[in-house]
A and B are shown apart, each in its own frame.
Chain A
């Protein structure tokens, strides 16, 4: 009851506007991919093109409906054109894209350094970047995680992961 009274006494807030600029990124990327797909099947017989043409046509129809809906929302003042959904603070951006950059380096380095060393370095550098402290805690976590990874994937499951100096060294000891 008290809650209701409080709500009634407050002035009515204007309806919140949706931000719809960033909503077009995925459809536009889809249309570009659709155009590329059609280009890649251009030389095939008609029957082989049917599935691709059908899906691209369906996507075009759906994107047109979305575009109309966005235009309608902008016209009625229910939405505004903005890319703020993707905005982030510089600090968050550095952390997020820094970790992603390290993941790219991890991917490129794993054939040379092997699974265990690569995962250890990736985890250590990522956690360092993300501010996991103290060092001892961070290193304990990364060493244990790498060891579990080695035991689970390579020893127990026998997965075909790239072997490097650590795997070769351990294979030399344990056979």
Chain B
């Protein structure tokens, strides 16, 4: 990377500033609507991206992609409904903070952490892309199986107040994720006779049911989602609260930096995804915090960590696409189609033949984050007013519009039924202390876990010992074991201390 090339790629990206402005606005809106992920919007706008020059198409797709990552945190904070799985961890501290009447500060924390985290990781990626791409070479199907199980364990232990219930939710989620046609024999499994489940459990309707519909049903127990004090504080909120949020975020700039780097590294692993990245960052943040007990009650660092990581993942997940031609996620897969249509040579050749285009992706990201910082921050004051709307108005709007979001990706009425079923399931889970996040992540990781399970077994000729035959895998197994045993030990120690104090 020469200085000349660096200047060239940034000037190239800056020439499309108007397109970035439009795309980031669209991206934030669609990211905030559960069900309308970046991939669906890029698919809908395929005629545009296929018709314009490749630089323009790439700028448009990348800007929508990063903006949707940021937008997904907005409903997570205001309504306890993550726009995508990557924002699921944001609900843990974001929503309690909003309920205290601090939605504006929570939104600002999200925006600053997201934009700063994304900005930093995009910049880092420009200089370290070659090294980060090597992560994928060390992680094979065995390691991926352990990573998936480690991810679900972490989430169960972190998100749920009761780790055992969290683990049960996660395992049920993994089993639901394994519904559909078998990877090798294509035999339908546990489809209840529905052809619509042949391709597996649709994730968007499950997300909408578990989060949006169940939350709306719970919401009806009170007239307002805010506490009495929170409502009073929210009514008095003005620009000062935006400033307070900025100060709270900037004071924690080191926190934003290292948690976004966690997201970047996790994102560089094909298939690991934003949900794991956000939860790993949240767990690490809590582990090294001086006030771990404050997490889950509306702690600023509990919002910063997953949001910075979520946007770090956005940078990382494009690395396997560009360097190895392996899409790291669904949106990257759609981008692969568009780039292939334009005849762009993906893989190492791209960096030799057209380095401007390859590195330009990350320059576009850097500029997108800069533009979003300017456009979205002033909006937090107005967006936070949503929390003042009564639940009798909010609940029907949430149910009605998110059901439409469930229908949208596949255009099946069946998917709206799936969302309603998961809504009832999520409602029972919330009332009985089973965390819906663990189940959702299980459903997301279920098919990936199974695919890697089968691959590892086939490559080893059916030898189950293969899962303990790699050094990296064994280290990950130990970490998984530690993540289960450590909370049990901490609880036991706290209990002993309490008993000793009488």
Contact = CB atoms under 8 A, between A and B. Distances in A.
Interface of A: 22-23, 25-27, 29-30, 33-34, 36-37, 40-41, 43-48, 50-52, 54-56, 58-59, 62-63, 65-66, 69, 85-86, 88, 92, 95-96, 99-100, 103-104, 106-108, 110-111, 115, 119, 122-123, 126-127, 130-132, 141, 145, 149, 152-153, 157-161
A156 B191 CA distance: 35
Given A99-B395, A107-B417, A161 B450 contact: no
Contacts of B413: 107-108, 110-111
Nearest to A43: B187
A41 B164 CA distance: 27
Interface string B173-187: 011101100101101
B333 interface: no
A163 to B, nearest CB: 12
Interface in B178-212: 178-179, 182, 184-185, 187-191
Interface of B: 29-30, 36, 41, 44, 164-165, 167-169, 171-172, 174-176, 178-179, 182, 184-185, 187-191, 213, 216-217, 220-221, 390, 392-393, 395-397, 399-401, 403-404, 407-408, 411, 413, 416-417, 420, 423-425, 428-429, 431-434, 449-450, 453-454, 457-458, 462
14 contacts: A23-B433, A48-B182, A50-B453, A55-B178, A92-B220, A95-B220, A96-B217, A103-B399, A126-B396, A145-B397, A153-B404, A159-B44, A161-B404, A161-B407
Contacts of A123: 396-397, 400
A157 to B, nearest CB: 6
A37 B172 contact: no
Contact of A51 (B178, B407, B429): B178
B190 A158 contact: no
A81 B417 CA distance: 33
A118 to B, nearest CB: 8
B431 A100 contact: no
A51 B171 CA distance: 12
B433 to A, nearest CB: 7
A44 B175 CA distance: 17
B408 A160 contact: yes
Contacts of B169: 26
Nearest to A125: B396
A55 B189 contact: no
Contact of B403 (A45, A51, A63, A107): A107
Given A48-B187, A50-B457, A161-B404, A22 B431 contact: yes
B463 to A, nearest CB: 11
A104 B432 contact: no
A86 B432 contact: yes
A51 B450 contact: yes
A25 B424 CA distance: 12
Given A55-B174, A126-B399, A103 B220 contact: no
